[in-house]
Structure 1
Amino acid sequence: MGDGDGWVRTASGARRWGLHGAAGLLLLADGAGGAPAGRTHALLQLRAGWTHLGGTWGLPGGAVDSHEDAVAGALREAWEETGVPAGAVDVLDRRVTADLGGWTYTVVLGRLRGAEDVRPHAATAESDEVRWVALADVGALPLHPGLATTWDGLRSWAADGRPGA
């Protein structure tokens, strides 16, 4: 456990995970890391049934530790949950998708480098499954509510200027 693990109450009284905020990785690939070629895919995690909002699909991610920025936190969490090493990810951008008065959630946009030896998998009991999903198909899944409310904007952001998306 890192020093960011824990529940907080936001200024509005909402309960959120991450004492220093949280971050997730929107990892893209087209033919790398087991992702099908021809269209851009996002790596999604099916949250284990025992977790908060289990049974929903979301981005690999979690609490940011006190010594990390959102990018470092998202990359660390993605490695812990999917086995994708930070060195295999080209970070493209980041975007705060929730700012709830003292607590933020940041999505880090990245692209998997062409390393064929990287094979994402459910690396912890927090995930029931990890899967590459075509950007156009993500919205059809039962998404974590935070991802569901931001997906249209994230999809446009991820697809912007990326052929095959």
Structure 2
Amino acid sequence: MSASWASCARGHVHWGRRGAAGLLLADRGRVLLQLRARWAHQGGTWSIPGGAREAGESYADAALREAEEELGVDADAVDVRGSYVATCGGWTYETVLAVPLTGLALADRSESDGHRWVPAADVADLPLHPAFRAAWDDPAGALRAFVTPGG
């Protein structure tokens, strides 16, 4: 793996020289969240599985790979519906929006101390990873609208 920290034009430090991506799975008004392992950056916070993009990898492929590595999500068991892009000084994080096609057999793997399906109304009450909180709280509401269409 060639991932490392990157500095953006604003002087912030981000994980992933080529940007990063995560997978937001939504089902019946709930979202699948992962409790980041205590040893990981921002450990002990809730977020989505995700991580750095590798050379030649699309954002969607990176999000699906990370979800498989961290929670055992089978890429063939989800339907990608779109994405939400956050940028910071030329650095990009893409949240890939998807729904499960079947029941998922999930397991906490690397970088995960737990996972659960959380009703959309309860997400903001959790100790969220700061970047995920910013995306969830975005005034445009793209993530919330995906989880609860028309809500």
Aligned residues: 147
Other-structure match for 2:55: 66
Equivalent pair of 2:30/2:147 in contact (CA under 8 Å): no
* 2:115 paired with 1:130: yes
Q: Which runs of structure 1 show a deviation greater than 2 angstroms over 4 or more consecutive aligned residues? A: none
1:101 maps to amino acid: G
> What RMSD, in angstroms, separates the aligned Cα atoms of the two structures?
1.3
Equivalent pair of 2:15/2:51 in contact (CA under 8 Å): yes
Q: How does 1:49-64 map to 2 (within 5 A)?
A: 49-64=38-53
- What TM-score do the two structures reach when normalised by structure 2? 0.91
Of 7, 10, 13 in structure 1, the residue corresponding to residue 8 of structure 2 is: 10
Deviation, 1:132, is 1.0
Deviation, 1:157, is 3.2
- What TM-score do the two structures reach when normalised by structure 1? 0.84
Q: Which runs of 5+ in 1 are unaligned?
A: 31-39
Equivalent pair of 2:9/2:90 in contact (CA under 8 Å): yes
Other-structure match for 1:37: none
State the distance in 2 between where 1:44 and 1:158 align. Answer: 12
State the distance in 1 between where 2:97 and 2:131 align. Answer: 16
Q: Which runs of 5+ in 2 are unaligned?
A: none
Q: How does 1:112-127 map to 2 (within 5 A)?
A: 112-114=100-102, 116=103, 118-124=104-110, 126-127=111-112
1:23 maps to amino acid: A
Deviation, 1:135, is 1.1
State the distance in 2 between where 1:155 and 1:120 align. Answer: 23
1:85 maps to amino acid: D
Other-structure match for 1:108: 96
State the distance in 2 between where 1:120 and 1:50 align. Answer: 21
State the distance in 1 between where 2:135 and 2:91 align. Answer: 17
